[in-house]
Each structure stands twice: as C-alpha cells, then as structure tokens.
C-alpha cells in the first residue's frame, strides 16, 4: 500500500502477528482502500484490520463503526469511478462514459452492487457524484430537474445491466451458462411453442457484456435527444412537457 514500509508490510504476512508497541498511524484513505479490497458486502472491522496489519481498536480512531466505514468506502468508490473527466465532450458521450464507469464499478470486486441491494449505499453517499453530474449536465444545456431525471434513468438501466451480468457470471460458475441454458430451454419445448422466440434465440440467449448492454443505453439516449429536439421547438412538444412535469412531481 502507498506509503507503507517493508517492515510494516512484513507484519501482514500469513501467520505473522502485528507489531507490539505504539499503534500504527494510519490515514483514512488507507483504511478506505483496505475496505474496498476486502469488499463491501463482506466488510468487517476485523477483516479491514487484518488487511492493514493492525489491531481492530486502531480503526475506531478513524471511524465509528462498520456502517460508517461502509458509507465512507462507498462514497470514495463513487467519487473515483462514477464521474468521468469533463473534457467538454458532447453530453451523450459524457453520459456513456459515466455509465461505463458505473457498470465497471458495480461488476467489479468491491461488491458495491451487493452492498447497495442490502441498503448499504445511502443517499448521502451520492451527494458529491450527483453534484459533479449536475455541474456537467447543466453546462450542456440541461435544467436541474432534467439532469436528475436523466441520471435516475441511466442509473436504473446500468444497475439492471450490472445485476444481469453478475447473474450470468453466477450461472457460469454453476456450470449452466445462460447461452446454453436458454437454448436448451427453448429446444425442450414442443415445436409449436415459442415460435417467434425461436427465430431470435441467439439474441435471447446473449449474455450481457460491455459490447451489448450499451445498446439499451443508446436507445435511451436517442430518445432523450429526440425529446430535447421536440422541446426546443416552441410550436410543438406539449405532450412531452406534460410528461416532464409528471417526472418532477
């Protein structure tokens, strides 16, 4: 770990007890990095202390309890991963980069998706990332409510894609990959069943990957772009305005 001496690293070798004497001085970012390495779903104060090679009591000088550590680690991961660099790129590209980063974080080893599903990802964790998003999108012509509605829409899509991906990875580990299982399920039906689906079985059986889940995002962004063009025309778009107001209520 950054800033760690060889002597300190030696205390973390298997079977080697932590050094006695004065407790090690840590930085909060060291603790958060260790927490992310352990994984948010499996996070315990004991596991983080073991990863750092310190006594568990040392951690309580920096965080109050496990729940606070999960929140801080989640916030760190969100800031690091979800907010792309603002290079003045078109809004569609910025959104795509944001969603790719979110997908990678949710499907990575940090167990962020599992933590979120269990309520470990409270709204206060999202504040900094959402502020960055609002700054980027309002600069590109979106109103505040429009930017937040779009963020919610792409988050729902990306979280769903990440959950689907993890589900398929679990199927693979169980020896029943989706592609084979889906085709076998259709083949087992009588020929008169699922006649339409049989024509598109390869699409139905497709596993979510970086290359294909983004097509759903493309459809969403294309719809948003089209709606914005309609709304830009003062002579049209009354129905779209009404739908927008429903989203704000």
pLDDT digits over 63-97, tens only? 888 877 877 777 676 666 667 889 999 999 999 99
Are 59 and 48 contacting, i.e. CB atoms less than 8 angstroms apart? Answer: yes
Summarize the confidence of residues 112-126 as an average pLDDT. 68
Comparison of pLDDT for 67 and 61, the residue scoring more: 61
131 CB neighbour count, 10 Å cutoff: 11
Measured between alpha carbons, how far is 214 from 135 in angstroms, rounded to an integer?
24
Provide the pLDDT for residue 153.
95
Comparison of pLDDT for 201 and 122, the residue scoring more: 201
Measured between alpha carbons, how far is 54 from 58 in angstroms, rounded to an integer?
7
Domain positions in the chain? 1-64, 82-175+213-249
Q: What is the mean pLDDT of the chain?
A: 78
Does residue 118 register a pLDDT over 80?
no
Comparison of pLDDT for 121 and 158, the residue scoring more: 158
CATH 1.10.357.10 assigned to domain 82-175+213-249? The reply is yes
DSSP 204-224: HTPPP-TTTTHHHHHHHHHHH
3-state helix, strand, coil in the chain (%, to 5): 65, 0, 35
């Amino acid at each position: 770990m950054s800033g760690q001496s060889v002597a300190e690293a030696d205390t973390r070798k298997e079977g080697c007890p932590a050094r006695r004497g004065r407790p090690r001085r840590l930085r909060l970012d060291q603790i958060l990095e260790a927490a992310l390495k352990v994984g948010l779903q499996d996070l315990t104060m004991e596991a983080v202390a073991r990863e750092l090679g310190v006594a568990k009591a040392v951690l309580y000088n920096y965080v109050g309890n496990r729940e606070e550590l999960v929140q801080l680690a989640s916030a760190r991961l969100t800031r690091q991963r979800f907010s792309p660099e603002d290079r003045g790129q078109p809004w569609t590209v910025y959104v795509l980069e944001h969603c790719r980063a979110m997908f990678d974080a949710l499907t990575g080893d940090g167990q962020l998706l599992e933590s979120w599903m269990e309520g470990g990802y409270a709204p206060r964790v999202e504040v900094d990332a959402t502020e960055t998003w609002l700054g980027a999108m309002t600069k590109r012509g979106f109103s505040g409510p429009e930017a937040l509605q779009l963020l919610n829409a792409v988050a729902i899509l990306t979280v769903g894609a990440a959950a689907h991906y993890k589900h398929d990875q679990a199927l693979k580990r169980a020896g029943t990959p989706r592609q084979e299982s889906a085709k076998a399920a259709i083949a087992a039906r009588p020929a008169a069943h699922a006649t339409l689906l049989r024509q598109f079985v390869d699409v139905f059986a497709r596993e979510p990957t970086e290359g294909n889940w983004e097509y759903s995002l493309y459809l969403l962004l294309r719809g948003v772009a089209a709606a914005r063009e309609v709304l830009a025309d003062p002579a049209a778009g009354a129905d779209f305005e009404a739908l927008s107001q429903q989203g704000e209520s």
